[in-house]
Structure 1
Amino acid sequence: MTTTTSISTSNPPSNPRDYVKSPDPAEVESTLTRFQEMISKYQFMSQNVERRAAGLREKLPEMRKSLDTVRFLRMRKGKASRDSGAEQDEGGDGDGLEEGSADANGMIETTYALQDTLYAHATVNTQELDSVYLWLGANVMVAYPLDEAESMLKEKLDKAKESLKAAEEDLEFIRVQTTTLEVATARVHNWDVGEKRKKKESG
């Protein structure tokens, strides 16, 4: 006999006869076993996709932070260049430089992480800053011009967002498939119990 295991997730059949063509115990058991194997496969797939999605969710904040940092450095470099040019045009002598003059000179003070709990202090001259160093993984660091660094980081961030969205869609599809299979399993099992009861009562 042929066992039917085709399932529609949008509108799963309510009649177990759509899955099992006869109450033969061997066919019922074969159908239930196949359903359980399919459920196990979807559960395995769900674990893998969930791990991938979790990794992306963990990386996204760091990727946004890196992109925001590069954009900030570009902005400060451009502002410092404009302020410096304006000062030369106005013949400013630089007297009475307060907090705002730090912007004009392009100097910023910051701290950066050496390790998870270890930070160092640094002073950066954004007027002389032409490139940044980015970790590419596997202990590899590469210098990129600011424009290229921003473009690459934005591209990677966009791809990571797309990958996360695709992973979430896959998870939803797997959940629907798993639920449908579990419902189908319950229907076949209950139908089998009813058929056995009828057979026993009919003697």
Structure 2
Amino acid sequence: MASFIAGELMGAIEQGHYKPGTRLVEAEIAQRFGVSRAPVREALRMLMKDDLVMRRPRRGTVVTELSAAEVSEMYEVRSALYAAVVRLFVRRASDGEVAGYAVWRQRINDLAADATVTPARFVDATQAASIYVVERCGNARLQAGFRKMTRQSYRYYAEMAHGTVAHRRELACLATAMLEAMQARDAEAASMLAWRISESNHAAALVAIAAQEKPG
């Protein structure tokens, strides 16, 4: 039961339902799942091992909060992983799989062109497109590493990064260039563009964090 609860809580953190700093109250979680507190405590210990939650004095267990420096480190690792994933995808994917990615790219371009689209909806599409590539790169260790980075409140910071229409449109342009490199089977060019996409998100997230922390 503890593993099931941990999986459910992990999914909620990944999807941004529990934001960084949110308290996870054992009694409330136990009531939600209709169990005693014992399996809830074990589930929270499991999440702690993956750095998804942490203990805070006088607050109890909370979803892990990252400093700006830690967010930067997260993006540095993610950028390297995404570049490696895309390189392998270009080398190993079938023409049909590349064509499948083109469908996702068109979806993202359409969303980027629509100023009424929310950051959450845009992130839904970009994450789905990234997962499409990750699942077809053919390297289980890279896949595991990428998924772990996504679990660590990435979505919360991704929504901050994609908060402006200008950034989304910049991202769509870079991603279109990456697709063209994929279609040309230029693995190195596609990989470099993947790195640029992730680093663009990195910079945008730090700007958003700084604006959020600014007094007044």
TM-score (norm 1): 0.25
Give the number of the structure whose alpha-carbon radius of gyration is greater: 1
Which structure is higher in RCO with an 8 Å CA cutoff and minimum separation 6? 1
Higher strand fraction: Structure 1 or Structure 2? 1
Normalising by structure 2, report the TM-score. Answer: 0.24
